[in-house]
Amino acid sequence: MRLSRRADYALRAVRHCSGLAKNTVGSISSISEKESVPREFLAKVLNDLTQGGLLVSFKGIKGGYALAKKPKDISFLDVIEAVDGPIHLNLCTDHKASGVDHPKNCAMCGFWKKQEAGFKKALGGHTFSRYAKGKK
């Protein structure tokens, strides 16, 4: 399993914004350059993060992006699900997809549900506070 490129870029963008000084915004150009993310793709990712309530955008010549919440209140899970939707490790855990090419009494569903819960707990417990300005 691998995170999508979209999720990776979103995590980098939020990490970047977490490290900005108070009352400072990150321009799309600066985020793109410093995080090695293609500018056009980044624009779409930043829009998703803004729509998801994790970033705020400021228009104008000195515009850019900043966190909508404190870094301690944004988890890796929040970011990934804002750009990719809910995480599901298997069809067993995706209630919307259940029944599609999946047996009704799958013996492995319990295993997948447990793994998914642990994975989400780990991602949900890791916030961007460690990347905030002044933290190492």
pLDDT of residue 34: 96
Host H or E run for residue 116 = helix 109-125
pLDDT attached to residue 108: 83
Structure tokens at 78: 């929040």
For residues 46, 9, 87, 67, the Cα torsion angle rounded to the nearest 10 degrees is: -40
Print pLDDT tens along the chain (136 aa): 789 999 999 999 999 999 999 889 999 999 999 999 999 999 999 999 999 999 999 998 889 999 999 999 999 999 999 999 999 888 777 766 555 565 666 788 889 889 999 999 999 999 999 888 655 4
CA distance 19 to 30: 13
For 7, 101, 118, 134, the CA distances from 52, given in Å and listed in that order, are 13, 31, 23, 26
Q: Hey, what amino acid is at 135? A: K
Q: Give me the residue label for tokens 């705020």.
A: 56
In terms of Cα–Cα distance, which of 9, 130, 124, 134 is closest to 65?
9
DSSP 30: H
Question: d(Cα 60, Cα 74) in Å, to the nearest integer?
Answer: 26
Residues listed for the chain:
136
Please give the CATH architecture assigned to the domain spanning 5-87.
Orthogonal Bundle (1.10)
Every domain of the chain and the residues it spans: 5-87
pTM: 0.88
